[in-house]
């Protein structure tokens, strides 16, 4: 049985349950590993409606952007899939109630995650239904469901989405939300960094000056330093960097003049697996440690834009 990734737009508890209960029941009868990745209120609603059957259903918000950044959510999906394939029917069945937050940058991140999921899951034995609730999601997020899911679900009926777009075309075409802070002057700017060690030190100093928490300082610096290393090792000089900050957000853009590439799937999984010695961890670490990461190819080279809220 092949991969199924469907979206269902609902606007009431009755509609939500009309989709969720038959989908989950089918999986329980088949011996699937059945998992909810939903807000607590949805978990409560669904498990109460399932009654005794709900005891066999697991719940983990870390399988989606509710509880993780994209690389970690995909890692959790992989772990549940391994468990599913080792027992029962060999299939993972997931009900997700999506929420990408209240800001366009978060919507873009969620849309990108849903689209990339189709490519990275490939033909894995996964059936997933993503609930898009009109009562709490903004219109642009609702509208994106048909483009990021190959199938649409209404009750027990699954049909091909006529508006579905291949991730290779959809992800690069997503609009890039600019932070207001980027309209001002950067607090740090270098146009031709002489050495990687020097740029790493400068980035560490500027991040420390605007991020009060030691743990977040170290996380952001680690990821930015890895992106700088990529620019020096795989790109072509000059390597430049800009940092903007306003106390609430920090944005860092690192650019080089090397060969352009625009793989929209870069960094969602490690390039060479989880062996740190094999390298290929820069973008993956960045996606784990910054809220938003954008790989921006142009005729002049490549820029990687990192953005996050200061906590």
- pLDDT at residue 117, as a whole number: 93
- Determine the average pLDDT of the residues in 129-149: 97
Q: Are residues 86 and 23 in the same domain?
A: yes
Who wins on pLDDT, 163 or 274?
A: 163
- Determine the average pLDDT of the residues in 28-55: 96
Q: Does residue 273 have a pLDDT over 90? A: no
Residue 178 lies in a domain: no
Domain at 93, CATH number: 3.40.50
% of the chain exceeding 90 in pLDDT: 81
Contacts 24+ apart (CB under 8 A), 219-223: 219/289, 220/250, 220/252, 220/289, 220/290, 220/306, 220/308, 222/285, 222/289, 223/282, 223/285, 223/286, 223/288, 223/289, 223/290, 223/306
Give the rounded distance of the alpha carbon of 60 from its chain centre. 16
- Residue 278 — pLDDT band, cuts 50, 70, 90? very low
Q: Which of 156-160, 255-259, 276-280 has the lowest mean pLDDT?
A: 276-280
Q: Does residue 310 have a pLDDT over 70? A: yes
- pLDDT at residue 279, as a whole number: 47
Average pLDDT of every residue of the chain: 92
For 81-90, the pLDDT digits (tens) are: 999 999 889 9
- Distance (Å, rounded) from C-alpha 108 to C-alpha 101? 10
- Distance (Å, rounded) from C-alpha 213 to C-alpha 158? 47
What global pTM score does this model have? 0.90
Domain end among 117, 146, 173: 173
Domain at 205, CATH number: 3.30.565.10
- pLDDT at residue 272, as a whole number: 54
Q: Does residue 215 have a pLDDT over 60? A: yes
- Determine the average pLDDT of the residues in 36-65: 96
- pLDDT at residue 292, as a whole number: 93
Q: Are residues 168 and 219 in the same domain?
A: no
Q: Which of 41-45, 47-51, 62-66, 293-297 has the lowest mean pLDDT?
A: 293-297
- Closest among 22, 43, 273, 4 to 159, alpha carbons compared: 4
Counted domains in the chain: 2
Domain end among 115, 145, 173: 173
Q: Does residue 258 have a pLDDT over 80? A: no
Q: Which domain holds residue 255?
A: 183-309
């Amino acid at each position: 049985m092949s991969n199924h990734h469907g979206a269902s737009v609902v606007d009431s508890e009755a509609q939500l349950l009309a989709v969720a209960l038959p989908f989950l029941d089918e999986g329980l009868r088949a011996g699937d590993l059945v998992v909810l990745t939903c807000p607590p209120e949805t978990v409560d609603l669904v498990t109460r409606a399932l009654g005794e059957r709900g005891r066999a259903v697991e719940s983990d918000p870390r399988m989606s952007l509710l509880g993780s950044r994209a690389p970690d959510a995909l890692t959790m999906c992989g772990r549940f899939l391994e468990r599913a394939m080792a027992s029962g029917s060999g299939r993972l069945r997931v009900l997700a109630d999506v929420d990408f937050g209240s800001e366009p940058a978060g919507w873009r991140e969620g849309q990108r995650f849903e689209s990339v999921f189709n490519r990275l899951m490939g033909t894995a034995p996964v059936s997933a239904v993503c609930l898009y609730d009109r009562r709490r999601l903004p219109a642009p997020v609702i509208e994106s469901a048909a483009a990021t899911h190959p199938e649409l679900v209404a009750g027990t009926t699954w049909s091909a989405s006529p508006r579905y777009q291949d991730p290779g075309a959809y992800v690069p075409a997503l609009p890039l939300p600019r932070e207001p802070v980027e309209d001002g002057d950067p607090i740090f700017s270098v146009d031709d960094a002489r050495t990687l060690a020097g740029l790493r030190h400068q980035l560490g100093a500027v991040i420390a000056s605007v991020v009060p928490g030691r743990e977040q300082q170290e996380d952001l610096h680690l990821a930015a330093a890895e992106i700088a290393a990529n620019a020096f090792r795989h790109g072509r000089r000059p390597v430049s960097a800009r940092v903007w900050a306003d106390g609430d957000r920090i944005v860092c853009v690192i650019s080089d003049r090397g060969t352009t590439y625009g793989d929209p799937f870069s960094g969602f999984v490690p390039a060479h697996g989880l062996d740190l010695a094999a390298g290929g961890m820069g973008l993956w670490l960045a996606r784990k440690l910054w809220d938003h990461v954008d790989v921006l190819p142009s005729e002049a080279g490549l820029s990687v834009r990192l953005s996050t809220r200061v906590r």
